[in-house]
Amino acid sequence: MKKNVVGMLALSAMAFAMGSAFAQETAKAAPEMTAAEKEQAKKIYFERCAGCHGVLRKGATGKNLEPHWTKKDKDGNVTEGGTLKLGQQRLEKIIGYGTDGGMVNFDDILTKEELTLMAKYIQNTPDVPPEYSFKDTMDSWKVMVPVDKRPTKQMNKYNLKNMFSVTLRDTGEVALIDGDTKEIRSIVKTGYAVHISRLSASGRYVYVIGRDGRLSLIDLWMEQPAVVAEVKIGFDARSVDTSKFKGFEDKYAVAGSYWPPQYVIMDGDTLKPRKVVSTRGMTVDGEYHPEPRVASIVASFTKPEWVINIKETGQILLVDYSDIENLKTTTIGSAKFLHDGGWDASKRYFLVAANASNKIAAVDTKTGKLAALVDVAKIPHPGRGANFTHPKFGPVWTTGHLGADVLTLISTPSDKKSDAKFKEYNWKVVQEVKHVPGNLFVKTHPKSKHLWADSPQNPEKELAESVAIWDVADLSKPVKVINVAKDSGLPVTKATRRAVHPEYSADGKEVWISLWGGKTDQSAIVVYDDATLTLKKVITDPKMITPTGKFNVFNTQHDIY
């Protein structure tokens, strides 16, 4: 890992070092750790664990990891109210081998010593990190290339519509790969473990947000696309989007933070911070929560609004950006632990997974109300989901699951007269398609007849390295299961190379799969012909280190999935 990434992570980890006298007293019964061990553990927790379990370890997608669950008490008892406490040995096994509920095994990611260290760490009381103010945000803001110094037209000859923004997770970089030639056009230094790339309405700018809270703005029009502005919005972040409604194209950007729990509104072309808004408040159950993290954000197509999903509270915010000085927000209660989601085919309804509640919430952005709350299988994780027309049930939106062996199809409304006959199915689960647990992403394309699903969180190596494909006209069984690791031609290793995040080319003819290896293993992107389901190209390079998410410019710009 490069020095500046290590520095940023160290700073973020050090920020977790604040604790109360009460916390120190409670920690006395926990396993002892040296200061150096705590710093090492904080860094690992930030990188690998906080996303699912929370900075304060209160749980969301992952289980609550506060000491009253993780450590045995002073008398050595292992039950509390009939619930099994974990303790050192059991924790080491869970962290090492993973769980059927969707937690990945870390025995090929962490050393034995690190597994022991992390089991000790989560038996100690969580440290409370500091806040991050508007002033802190402003102080971090940098403009490398002012707007008046940028090109007024595209200066390169790349087909930008078919460019892919690829996260190189562990190096804190994004690779811009030409979808036509499969060549790496630029590797751009960004924040650590970029979670998502989003496009401006015009398709010119790429916004990438890292797990360390660093937001980078990439200008694709430059002769060599590069970062032209950046800002740090917090210590931990996941989500970003732009203003897309007519008259507001490229005007604003908004990014959401996991810690502190807040979102930041910025100027779209410079990332100059304009407003910081806290998301702390009451859950849908009426309880106060100190860490309601901003999960997914999308820009509405029907109004000048962002749909901002607040994980722990289960509140969906419709934020009107037409007047950011007098901000108006509609708050819609749904279900706790909101995570990721995507638009239905009409782009009127946004569907988001309340994953630890095993529900999908649907918001009608035209009326500004909750359209439905649909019960689904364990821990839905749709990514953006997948839209297609089912031969029996009409338009459907699809999610996979981390904790269940199915893909779930939900009927979605349509204004087309030809779809009126499907109205009776709307907002119902119309079919469950057999898959395997550990799925993160499903994907299809309007020009494709196939539905692709990965399973990178499955504890079985072969399943984690494979993807399954169905014909949407017949979902009775996969038409093919592909072992992407074998197709890559890379040397076989003991460690798992996870096949993750299918992404279509702009024309819908290719599907790109990341083969996510360890930091010291060669990784790759494996490209398939969608019509024939055959291998087309393996993109590999010494600089291709831990690729994960891939975002096609045209598909991301227009929310095509």
CA dist., res. 354 & res. 408, Å (int) = 14
For residues 456-468, give the mean pLDDT. Answer: 96
**Which pLDDT tens digit goes with each residue over 287-331?**
999 999 999 999 999 999 999 999 999 999 999 999 999 999 999
Decide: helix, strand or coil at residue 554: helix
State the pLDDT at residue 4.
39
Q: Give 203's DSSP letter.
A: S
- What's the pTM value of the predicted model, to 2 decimals? 0.85
* Domain extents in the chain: 3-121
- What class, spelled out in words, does domain 3-121 have in CATH? mainly alpha
State the pLDDT at residue 60.
72
Report DSSP letters for 352-421, one per residue: EEEGGGTEEEEEETTTTEEEEEEE-SSSB--TT-EEEEETTTEEEEEE-BSSSSEEEEEE-----GGGGG
pLDDT > 90: percent of the chain: 73
What does the mean pLDDT of the chain come to? Answer: 90
Residue 103 designated active-site: yes
Residue 501 designated active-site: no
Residue 401 designated active-site: no
Which run of H or E residues covers position 146?
A: none
**Which pLDDT tens digit goes with each residue over 514-545?**
999 877 788 999 999 999 999 999 999 998 99
Q: Give 201's DSSP letter.
A: T
Task: Report whether pLDDT(7) > 50.
Answer: no
Of 8, 52, 163, 266, catalytic: 52
Assign 13 a pLDDT band (cuts: 50, 70, 90).
Answer: very low
State the pLDDT at residue 72.
62
**Which pLDDT tens digit goes with each residue over 95-153?**
888 776 667 778 777 889 989 998 888 888 888 888 999 999 999 999 999 999 999 99
Q: Which two tokens stand for residue 561?
A: 């999935």
Of 49, 118, 163, 266, catalytic: 49
Of 8, 195, 222, 381, catalytic: 381
Assign 5 a pLDDT band (cuts: 50, 70, 90).
Answer: very low
For residues 467 and 94, the model is more confident at: 467
Task: Report whether pLDDT(175) > 50.
Answer: yes
Which segment of 113-127, 239-253, 343-357 scores lowest on mean pLDDT?
113-127
Of 195, 289, 339, 401, catalytic: 339
State the pLDDT at residue 82.
41
Sign of CA dihedral 431, 436, 442, 443: negative
Residue 138 designated active-site: no
Residue 339 designated active-site: yes
**Which pLDDT tens digit goes with each residue over 501-515?**
999 999 999 999 999
Task: Report whether pLDDT(23) > 80.
Answer: no
Spell 9-44 as b/e; 16+ CB within 10 A means b. Answer: beebbebbeeeeeeeeebbeebbebeeebbebbbbb
State the pLDDT at residue 393.
98
Task: Report whether pLDDT(206) > 70.
Answer: yes
CA dist., res. 211 & res. 196, Å (int) = 10
Task: Report whether pLDDT(94) > 90.
Answer: no
Task: Report whether pLDDT(8) > 70.
Answer: no
Contact 202, 249 (CB under 8 A): yes
Q: What is the bridge-based pairing of β-strands 236-242 and 196-199?
A: unpaired
Looking at the DSSP assignment, which residues form a beta bridge with residue 238?
none
Q: Give 198's DSSP letter.
A: E
CA dist., res. 501 & res. 227, Å (int) = 24
Count of all residues that appear for the chain in the document: 561
State the pLDDT at residue 56.
82
Contact 393, 425 (CB under 8 A): yes
Residue 266 designated active-site: no
